[in-house]
Chains A and B, each alone.
Chain A
Amino acid sequence: MTFSVNHPILFLLAGIVIAVVLAQSVFFLIRAWRRGTQMGMDKKKLRRIVINAAVFTIAPAVAIIISVATLAKNLGIPLPWLRLSVVGSQSYETIAASNTMEGMGISLGSNVVLNASQYVTISLVMTISIMVGIWLVPVVARRMQKGMISMEKRDKKWADLFSASMFIGMIAAFLGFVFCDFGSVFKGETYGLIPVLVMLVSALAMVLAGALVKLTKKRWISDYALPVSLVIGMASAIPITAWLA
């Protein structure tokens, strides 16, 4: 069999792995749904959660397809398809592929045609280097959850604050990231303002959605506020970039 990065058998292999990962999500979804109904949670509420999560996911998922297309130029379609459907990201896969290819005396982005040995090496490095979370969660999740429960039993108010603080900490890091090129403004350049303005537009869209819910009393607006604000923010990036880049 002659190797090619887009050989049909690679699509089949990637498809099998992705089917297993998909099955895990379906399995957990069904069990959580059953548990929710068993606890007396309203099915309409659960259905709303599913629809909202699905709608919210569309734009980020399209961005992942772009990453697949970018990586496919060197690595073919099946490997990026697999890697970005499981734990992985464009930046991580690019770094892993680039480091491995350099070790083999070739470089990512050049018009190199990979042979089977190089391909296997790259996919092994990609797999091994990001495996930690998959095995560490089963090792520590139960103990960590017990710790959270015992914290809640000792001091419920602090447990709630602890949880809120973790979310705020995560959001604060990303808000900081939005300003990472802001320093360019002090050098007379404006491109660092692009993410800041995009952030402000989507925040404003979210505030307007909240105001609209209060005015009209239509709760469904808040269901779609986040995905719609996300898309409005992304769309605003087009004229803002044209203006400031």
Chain B
Amino acid sequence: MNDQMMTNDTSYMDSVHKWGRIWNFSVMGILFLYPLAVALLFGAVPDGKGLLMGLIATAPMYWAVGIVETFTYIPMLGAGGSYLSFVTGNISNLKLPCALNALEQAEVKANSDEGEVISTIAIATSSIVTTVIIILGVILLVPLTPVLENPVLDPAFAQILPALFGALGVVFVSRNWKIAVAPVVLMLILFISIPALDSGTVGIMVPVSVIFTLIVSRVMYKKGWL
């Protein structure tokens, strides 16, 4: 029975990786089709200088961030969740909190077989709902614009991250307070004292904070404090 379960787990994970590869490489190709199709349909040639300058100014930083984010987020998102999240984006502000909340509700661990299923379901649902809401938003963009750009609502959407991580943080920090003290204190000191750290750089600070937390946890674990 256990052997059968183990085989099913292995074959499921194998299929997740197999289909993940097929989908992600296909999406990668399809994403390139958009600019290529526009170029062909309108007889346009990319502006060489603009392309070069744009890539030099943009790509190195985002490639570096992309590499670090991939290694940081895969263990948290699970296999299925990773393949989906790195295609659909909005990982730290939407997909990962969504998966975390789902794991919490289901009372399963992220690194379990159930956790893999739950996080994939949560992230896939979130991706579908996001896509559908954006489609509706695009269809209704003209009538919605006065509402969406209403200055009264501006502060609400500007504070979405504090609202999200306040609610999420209180659950996870209170449950793992021994692990949380050191990284929370370090991040508070860094963000308060270094003006360059802001919404644009928080993505870079996530891996820094994760690595620091892992080191602190390891030391505490070895000393028998956890």
Contact = CB atoms under 8 A, between A and B. Distances in A.
| Contact size range, A | 35 or more
Among A170, A201, A225, A229, find the residue whose CB has the most chain B CB atoms closer than 10 A. A170
Given A25-B127, A175-B187, A68 B138 contact: yes
20 contacts: A21-B131, A29-B128, A32-B117, A39-B113, A59-B160, A86-B31, A116-B43, A129-B58, A136-B70, A167-B76, A168-B213, A169-B211, A170-B92, A172-B183, A207-B170, A230-B160, A233-B159, A237-B158, A238-B155, A238-B156
A96 B54 contact: yes
By DSSP majority rule, is chain B's interface helix, strand, loop, or mixed?
Answer: helix
A87 B86 contact: yes
Given A50-B125, A87-B87, A174-B92, A202 B28 contact: no
Interface in A190-224: 194-196, 198-203, 205-207, 210, 222-223
Given A20-B30, A49-B102, A63 B50 contact: no
Contact of A175 (B19, B158, B188): B188
Interface in B52-101: 52-55, 57-59, 62-63, 66-67, 69-72, 74-76, 79-80, 82-84, 86-90, 92-94, 96-98, 100-101
A174 B200 CA distance: 12
Contacts of B221: 157-158, 161
A35 B118 CA distance: 10
A39 B160 contact: no
B117 A36 contact: yes
A100 to B, nearest CB: 3
A133 B134 contact: no
10 closest Cβ contacts across the A-B interface? A103-B53, A176-B187, A233-B163, A132-B66, A100-B54, A65-B137, A169-B210, A116-B44, A199-B166, A169-B213
B38 A123 contact: yes
Contacts of A229: 163, 166-167
A140 interface: yes
B133 A58 contact: yes
A136 B120 contact: no
Interface string B113-133: 110111011111111111101
B105 A10 contact: no
A187 to B, nearest CB: 11
Interface string A16-33: 111011101111110111
